[in-house]
Structure 1
Amino acid sequence: MRRIIAVDLDGTLLSSKNTITEYTKEIIQLLAKKNIFFILASGRHHVDIIEIRDILKIRSFIIASNGAKIYDLDNQLIFSDCLDKEIASQLCKIKYLEKDIITQVYKKNRWFVNNNKVNNKFCSALSSLQYEYFTPDKFAFDNICKIFFTSNNFEKLYILEKKIIDIWGEKVNISFSVPGCLEVVSGKTSKGHGVRLISHLLGIPLDSCIAFGDGMNDLDMLTISGQAYIMKNADSCLKNALPNIEIIDSNNNNGVAKRLDEIFIKHKKI
């Protein structure tokens, strides 16, 4: 039977040191040679996800920027939905002068940050892209697929989340990938939407999809999949939101690979 495996990256497939173990590579490569399709689903820019896919040495679908960009097995863009230009403009300005919050923008193949010091753990160490500075008065707000706000002051991000919801409601999709990273994309996009699209494209029902995640931006992807697993290290908000979904071993202990090994190899389902 054909299956889909949709897996988040940071905090799920990747270790906290931003690496993939040889055991994980071995299991994924073995399954990818069978009648199984992989989806790498992440808030990351698609340039970063392609590099991770190449480390795995597999063909896969890519859901990038929390669903704003979706690519097929041949790296062809099959879905794109950027933020409304006026909304993007206001979001880029809303906390531009806030010293405790860094405003970050994905625009086409480029990554921009505001002029605050890039001094928290949610920035350049996690990306192969080189960030550039932007100033609102000299910036074009078209073709922006994701805006995200990072801070070590979680309370300020929670307040900002409420403000954004109050202003734009369902026009945006807003979620925390981790407690210190608040991500905003178009209201029409999400990881779950991407999984639905790929499921329809392949003609494989969602009941045959297995999903793994650790953050609130994984919630709808986990909810719609026939089998779903939450990482031991996941955000407590995700665990509380989906109390009936099984929790597996952590990202630092090969949680995804262990469960896939158990499902498909030890039980000889491939």
Structure 2
Amino acid sequence: MCYIIALDLDGTLLSSENKITKYTKEIIQLLIKKNFYFVFASGRHYIDVMKIRDSLKIKTFMITSNGAKIYNLDNELIFSDNLEEDISSTLCRIEYADKEIITQIYQNDKWYINNNKIDNKFCPALSSLQYQYFYPDSLNFNNISKIFFTSKNFQKLYILERKITNLYSNKVHINFSVPGCLEIVSGNTSKGHGLKLISNLLGISLNNFIAFGDGMNDQDMLAIVGKAYIMKNADSRLKNALPHIEIIESNNNDGVARCLNKVFIKNNKNIL
């Protein structure tokens, strides 16, 4: 039987130090040799996902920007869906002046943030890209794959989530990747949609997909696969939304690798 393993990155495959441990690398590379397919499914920009994949020296499918850009094993773009320009224009302005909220944009190969002089430590920790400042009156709003808002004031982000939902309903897909990061992509876009596309491409049922995640942006992906796992460190809302899904060790305790070893390696008497 052929298995496809879909992995969220931050809070799931990556440790809190933004790294993949040696043990996790060994498990993934061993399963690649056994002809397993891997899918990296992340809210990150595709350049960042590509660098993580290349650090493992393997080929993977890549669902990036929460599904707005999807790449095959040969690094070819097989799906792209950007936000509508009028929606992008509104979202880039909606909290631009709020000094407690950072507005961030992925547009083609660029990463933009609003020019607020506030604590911005959240940004560089999650990307190798260098952000630039944007000004709504001079920004071209086409080809924007994702807009996201980060803040230490979670309540403001919850209010913003309701505001955007009321404005655009099913025209956007809106989720928290972590409690302090609210992410918006096209309504036709999600990690789950990406897995369906890859399933059709390979001709392999979603019942043969195994997925791991920790954030609300993983919910639809975890809900449609044959077997899913939620990290111990996951958002409590995700655990509550999917109470039937097994919870495994945290990302800081090699949760993904330990689970894969137990299910696919140890049971076959082939322990690393």
Cα drift, residue 269 of structure 1: 8.9
CA distance in 1, matches of 2:114, 2:141: 14
Would the aligned equivalents of 1:64 and 1:70 in 2 still touch at CA under 8 Å?
yes
Q: Determine the structure 2 residue equivalent to 1:161.
A: 161
Spell out, residue by residue over 1:54-106, the C-alpha distance to the aligned partner (whole angstroms, 9 max, x if none): 11111000000000000000000000000000000000000000110000000
Deviations, residues 194-242 of structure 1 (Å, cap 9, x unaligned): 0010011011100000000000000000000100000000000000000
**Structure 1 counterpart SS, 2:230:** strand
Measure how far apart 1:33 and its partner are. Answer: 1.5
1:151 is aligned to 2:160? no
Show the counterpart of 1:56: 56
- 1:144 counterpart letter in structure 2: I
Equivalent in the alignment of 2:208: 208
- Paired position in structure 2 for 1:99: 99
For residues 23-172 of structure 1, the aligned pairs below 5 Å read 23-117=23-117, 119-172=119-172
Which residue in the other structure is 1:249 paired with?
A: 249
Q: 1:116 to 1:74 in 2, by over 3 A?
A: same
2:267 is matched with: 267
Q: Partners in 2 of 1:117 and 1:225 — Cα distance? A: 43
Counterparts of 1:42 and 1:223 in 2: how far apart (Å)? 16
Deviation at 1:121, TM superposition (A): 4.1
Corresponding letter in the other structure for 2:263:
I
Cα displacement string for residues 133-176 of structure 1 (whole angstroms, at most 9, x for unaligned residues): 00001000000000000000000000000000000000000000
Amino acid at match of 1:238: L
Distance of aligned partners of 1:133 and 1:269 in 2 relative to their CA distance in 1, 3 Å threshold: farther
**Do 2:99 and 2:118's aligned partners in 1 also have CA atoms closer than 8 Å?**
no
Q: What is the CA–CA distance in structure 2 between the aligned matches of 1:118 and 1:129, rounded to whole Å?
A: 19
For residues 231-255 of structure 1, what are the alpha-carbon distances to aligned partners after superposition, in whole Å with 9 as ceiling and x for unaligned?
0000000000000100000000000
Cα distance in 2, alignment partners of residues 28 and 47 from structure 1? 21
For the residue of structure 1 that corresponds to 2:13, the secondary structure is: coil
Give the match's secondary structure for 1:48. Answer: helix
Decide whether aligned partners of structure 1 residues 118 and 53 sit closer, same or farther in structure 2, where only a CA change above 3 A counts: farther
> C-alpha distance in 2, partners of 1:239/1:188?
25
Query: Distance between the aligned counterparts of 1:34 and 1:188, measured in 2?
Result: 34
Structure 2 SS opposite 1:267: helix
Alignment partners' CA distance in 1, 2:45 and 2:210? 23
Conserved 8 A contact 1:176-1:215: yes
Q: Percent identity?
A: 68
Residues 101-130 of structure 1, C-alpha deviation per residue, up to 9 Å, x if partnerless?
000000000000000135244211210000
Return the alpha-carbon distance in structure 1 between the equivalents of residues 129 and 82 of structure 2: 19
| TM-score under structure 2 length normalisation | 0.98
Whole-angstrom distance in 2 between the partners of 1:193 and 1:117? 37
CA distance change for structure 1 residues 269 and 97 in 2, over 3 Å: closer, same or farther?
farther
Q: Distance between the aligned counterparts of 1:125 and 1:37, measured in 2? A: 28
Structure 1, unaligned runs of 5 or more? none
Q: Partners in 2 of 1:180 and 1:139 — Cα distance? A: 25
Question: Do the aligned residues in 1 keep the contact of 2:7 with 2:213 (CA within 8 Å)?
Answer: yes
Q: What is the deviation of 1:35? A: 2.2
Moved segments of 4+, more than 4 Å: none
Q: CA RMSD in A?
A: 1.0
Distance in 2, Cα, partners of 1:261 & 1:118: 43
In structure 2, the partner of 1:219 is 219
